[in-house]
Structure 1
Amino acid sequence: MDFEILLKQIDFIKEIDKVKYIQRKTKLFNSNRNENDAEHSWHLAMMALILAEHANEPIDVLKVVKMVLIHDIVEIDAGDTFIYDMQKNHVNTDQERLAANRIFGLLPQEQSKEFIAVWEEFEAGLTPEAKFARTMDRLEPLLQNTSNNGGTWKEFDVDYSKVFEKKKIINEGSTMIWKYAEELINESVEKGILRKD
Structure 2
Amino acid sequence: MNTQDLLNQIAFIKEIDKVKYIQRKTKLFNSDRNENDAEHSWHLALMAIVLAEHSDAPIDILKVVKMVLIHDIVEIDSGDVFMYDTLKNHLNSDEERIAANRIFGLLPQKQAEEFIAVWEEFEAGETNEAKFAKSMDRLEPLLQNTSNNGGTWKEFDVKYEKVYEKKSVIKNGSATLWNYAEGLINESIEKGILKK
Q: Report the TM-score when normalising by structure 2.
A: 1.00
- Aligned pairs for 1:122-133 (under 5 A) are 122-133=122-133
Structure 2: 5+ residue stretches without partners: none
Match of 1:112 in 2: 112
Aligned-partner Cα distance in 2 for 1:15–1:85: 27
Match of 2:144 in 1: 144
- Aligned pairs for 1:53-92 (under 5 A) are 53-92=53-92
1:29-87 Cα deviation digits (max 9, x unpaired) = 00000000000000000000000000010000000000000000000000000000122
Aligned-partner Cα distance in 1 for 2:87–2:167: 18
Aligned-partner Cα distance in 1 for 2:107–2:152: 36
Match of 1:21 in 2: 21
User: 1:89 offset after TM fit, Å?
Assistant: 2.1
User: 1:88 offset after TM fit, Å?
Assistant: 1.4
Q: CA RMSD in A?
A: 0.3
Structure 1: 5+ residue stretches without partners: none
Match of 2:52 in 1: 52
User: 1:107 offset after TM fit, Å?
Assistant: 0.1
Output the amino acid matched with 1:174: S
Aligned pair 1:164/2:164, yes or no?
yes
Aligned length: 196
1:118-164 Cα deviation digits (max 9, x unpaired) = 00000000000000000000000000000000000000000000000
Structure 1 SS opposite 2:25: strand
Structure 2 SS opposite 1:13: helix
Structure 1 SS opposite 2:35: strand
User: 1:11 offset after TM fit, Å?
Assistant: 0.1
Output the amino acid matched with 1:190: E
Aligned-partner Cα distance in 1 for 2:133–2:98: 22
Identity of aligned residues (%): 78
Match of 2:155 in 1: 155
Output the amino acid matched with 1:39: E
Structure 1 SS opposite 2:189: helix
Structure 1 SS opposite 2:45: helix
Aligned-partner Cα distance in 2 for 1:58–1:86: 35
Runs of 4+ off more than 3 Å = none
